[in-house]
Structure 1
Amino acid sequence: MDGVAVLTIDNPPVNAVTVALARALGDAAAELDTRDDVGVVIVTGGGTRAFSAGSDIAEFSGMLGPGEAVERKLRPQMIAFAALADMRTPTIAALNGICLGGGLEIAACCDLIVAEEQVLLGSPEIKLGVFPSSGGTFRVARRIGHGRAKEMQLLGEPVTAETALQWGLINRIAPRGQGMRVARDLAAVLMARPPRALGLCKSVIDATHDLDEAALTERSLDASEQAFTSAECAEGVRAFFAKQAPDFRATNAGASS
């Protein structure tokens, strides 16, 4: 689909997250976010077994000394995942299989999450004597609240796609094998929306837990000023009165040429 980029987590058999994979994911997200020809990014897993079963535990054995895990794995992963979470471009996670540990941390960086009906989602890190350490604690809590995040992360037991939908952790359930189709349907809707306004809206929502109400008010007003004075808004108003579908992408292409 024009304007939709797909990032695939590809580390068979279960797409385990290594430091190198996390860095590659972050670098790809940062690069895609600079491209005017990319309007939506879908993140999915290679194969059919897993979106990602979490971190490659083999990496842990060499990182158990003071400061080693943080500096060699966790901080680089935090930086990489933040690149995905902070994209102005809308993102969709398409969960095609199990989504555990670091896999859930990656999915939680995305704006929308589609999970196939058979998918289990969880944060089992506590069973290894650790906890989600690359943003999963706060990103999952922001989606589902403290109580449910603690249930997932303190007990370490997975939840079904149906439970995840009820909790607000995911946005859509797809039939088995249809996760990418549903994600692409959502991407098509987003591609018809005004890209600048999408990014501005994301920036205000994402600041919800970081700023007090007064600061959020100013952030929202500043973003609204940019939206209302944009070519996108002019096109939306024109199309409304003309009873036509707005062509926001053409408007932006014309503005940047």
Structure 2
Amino acid sequence: MSKNSQKNNKKNNQDTVLVWREGNVATVVLNRPEKLNAFNLAMWQDLGTVMLKLGKDDTLRCVVIRGAGGQAFAAGADIAEFQKVRFSSLQAANYAKPMDRAAVAIRQCPHPTLAFVEGACMGGGLEIATQCDLRIANQSARFGIPINKIGNVLPYPAMIALVDLVGRSVAMELLLEGRIFSAEEACVKGLVGRVVEDNIAEAEAYNSARRIAEGAPLAARWHKKHATRAQNPEPLTTAELAQPFLCCDTADYKEGIAAFLEKRKPHFEGK
């Protein structure tokens, strides 16, 4: 973990979710390292609140989500609290509300989101990673949803995101076998886009975030919106077909063309 994150953790180690930013890149840290960042109810609630707030910050260009401690992104849910808060169908339905809120806040965040996965990424951790636009893992990362071992069933929002990402066959492999995937297998099967050696993984994740942040932010938002729409089988309307061309009326587009012709780095302002 970077020096900035270590410093921030020392100051706020009572918080289940930490946030810090460097320029126009924000980092969201799942902060229960003593539990390998396993989700409890408070963490689900805090993650949703944090992501909703960041989504309203137009000065941001990218959000990185990671786990504290370097040993895990998030090792699933904290099952130790289940007998108190998730031990009946009614309790489970109520418990799912902050889970869904956090997942939707990530999936619908207008800024590009990147999950930086170190170590264990299990259960709820993988559910969160699948909601992000990009996933980069270190070689030590491990992935799985072994909830068949406790008789649990994946909620529909998480199932939809998982099947959208890797298809029904891989989703069934994860859920029916409860097997843990290595980082390499996860990459081959589409759970992550890139696997990087442990000693340079953090640097590569933030290099990716900076490349995203250097791009035109309005174009990034449109690409996120249009990629989601592309998964909807309903025919595109005339207005929708025209939307991609609206970028050509923006100041960022004019700046991008001018910078290219002048052989300089563009300065995008999101206008």
Q: Same fold judged by TM-score > 0.5?
A: yes
Give the root-mean-square deviation of aligned CA atoms. Answer: 1.8
1:180 and 2:197 correspond: no
Structure 1 equivalent of residue 18 of structure 2: none
Q: Which amino acid aligns with 2:55?
A: D
Deviation readout 1:31-64 (Å, 9 max, x if unpaired)? 1111122211111100122111101112321332
Structure 2 equivalent of residue 70 of structure 1: 93
Q: 2:247 aligns with which of 220, 227, 252?
A: 227
Alignment of 1:127-138 (within 5 A): 127-133=149-155, 135-138=157-160
Structure 2 equivalent of residue 247 of structure 1: 267
Q: CA deviation at 1:203?
A: 0.7
Unmatched runs of 5 consecutive residues or more in structure 2: 1-21
Question: When the two structures are superposed, what TM-score results if normalisation uses the length of structure 2?
Answer: 0.86
**1:104–1:136 contact (8 Å) kept in structure 2:** no
**1:101–1:123 contact (8 Å) kept in structure 2:** yes
Q: CA deviation at 1:227?
A: 1.6
* Alpha-carbon separation, structure 1, partners of 2:178 and 2:189: 16
Q: 1:2 to 1:77 in 2, by over 3 A?
A: same
* Alpha-carbon separation, structure 2, partners of 1:17 and 1:170: 21
Unmatched runs of 5 consecutive residues or more in structure 1: none
Q: 47-56 vs 130-139, which deviates more?
A: 130-139
* Alpha-carbon separation, structure 2, partners of 1:143 and 1:217: 28
Question: When the two structures are superposed, what TM-score results if normalisation uses the length of structure 1?
Answer: 0.90
* Alpha-carbon separation, structure 1, partners of 2:222 and 2:48: 21
Q: CA deviation at 1:177?
A: 4.2
Structure 1 equivalent of residue 19 of structure 2: none
Kindly, what percent of the aligned residue pairs are identical?
29
* Alpha-carbon separation, structure 1, partners of 2:100 and 2:202: 26
Q: 125-134 vs 228-237, which deviates more?
A: 125-134
Q: 2:42 aligns with which of 20, 27, 44?
A: 20
Q: 1:10 aligns with which of 22, 31, 46?
A: 31
Q: Which amino acid aligns with 2:233?
A: D
**1:40–1:89 contact (8 Å) kept in structure 2:** yes
Q: Which amino acid aligns with 1:106?
A: I
Q: Which amino acid aligns with 1:228?
A: C
* Alpha-carbon separation, structure 2, partners of 1:14 and 1:152: 21
* Alpha-carbon separation, structure 1, partners of 2:66 and 2:199: 12
Task: Say how many residue pairs are matched.
Answer: 248
Q: 2:169 aligns with which of 129, 141, 147?
A: 147
* Alpha-carbon separation, structure 1, partners of 2:186 and 2:239: 33
* Alpha-carbon separation, structure 2, partners of 1:142 and 1:33: 23
Q: CA deviation at 1:135?
A: 3.1
Deviation readout 1:207-238 (Å, 9 max, x if unpaired)? 333x225137753532x143222111111222
* Alpha-carbon separation, structure 1, partners of 2:172 and 2:24: 38
* Alpha-carbon separation, structure 2, partners of 1:219 and 1:231: 21
Structure 1 equivalent of residue 191 of structure 2: 169
Deviation readout 1:129-158 (Å, 9 max, x if unpaired)? 112227331112111111111111121111
* Alpha-carbon separation, structure 1, partners of 2:137 and 2:148: 23
